[in-house]
Amino acid sequence: MLEFSITMTRRNLLLLALSSLPLAGQTAQNPLPNSDLKDPDGQRVEFKFQTLPNSVQIYTCRQTNQLFAWSGPDPDAIMTNAAKTLTVHHYKGPVWEATDGSLVRSDGKLAKHFLPNNKDAVHWLELPAQAPTKQFAKVKVIHRIDTSGGLPPSDKPCDAQHAGDQERVNYSATYLFYVDK
């Protein structure tokens, strides 16, 4: 009985330690299932944008230590709302900039990653809003969902001979901008 109790205590301590790891399971290398991506508590969607067909994710062939790999992606996307009354350019940073000068940024290192519905698509994301202005001034959180395409090129070489090469890969996504209710 004592052996069982010690084993249970060790197991409980291990589970407690693992559950307290920061951002466990929420990285690009270990994305969560997309069913875990929920509307943030106390928030509602204020803006919903869809990328236009010419939107891309940009990858660059880079060397890290002795290995070469496609790094990025950096977006270059034009998005619009359903009424086509607001157009937004989404680019490296990440940054979302509307034609009226409204702007919101985030930090890709703070992104929570979620598996897409389609295995051949970039992850769904949850990003904290930073430095929002004008129409976006109240935006707190941004979700990228319903992705298609945008994965690093698998048919293009990335080696010493191609270091610095860039590839633009088409993608589509829906972006939701959340504000307080």
Give the C-alpha separation, 181 to 172, whole Å.
Answer: 28
For the CA atoms of the chain, what is the radius of gyration?
A: 20
Residues 6+ apart with CB under 8 A from 142: 96, 104, 106, 125, 126, 127, 128, 129, 175, 176, 177, 178
Q: How confident is the model at residue 18 (pLDDT cuts 50, 70, 90)?
A: very low
Average pLDDT, the chain: 88
DSSP state of 32: B
pLDDT greater than 90 at residue 145? yes
pLDDT greater than 50 at residue 16? no
Helix, strand, coil percentages in the chain from 3-state DSSP, rounded to 5? 15, 45, 40
pLDDT higher for 15 or 43? 43
Q: Is the dihedral of CA 123, 92, 105, 21 positive or negative?
A: positive
| pLDDT 10s digits, 44-84 | 999 999 999 999 999 999 998 889 999 999 999 999 999 99
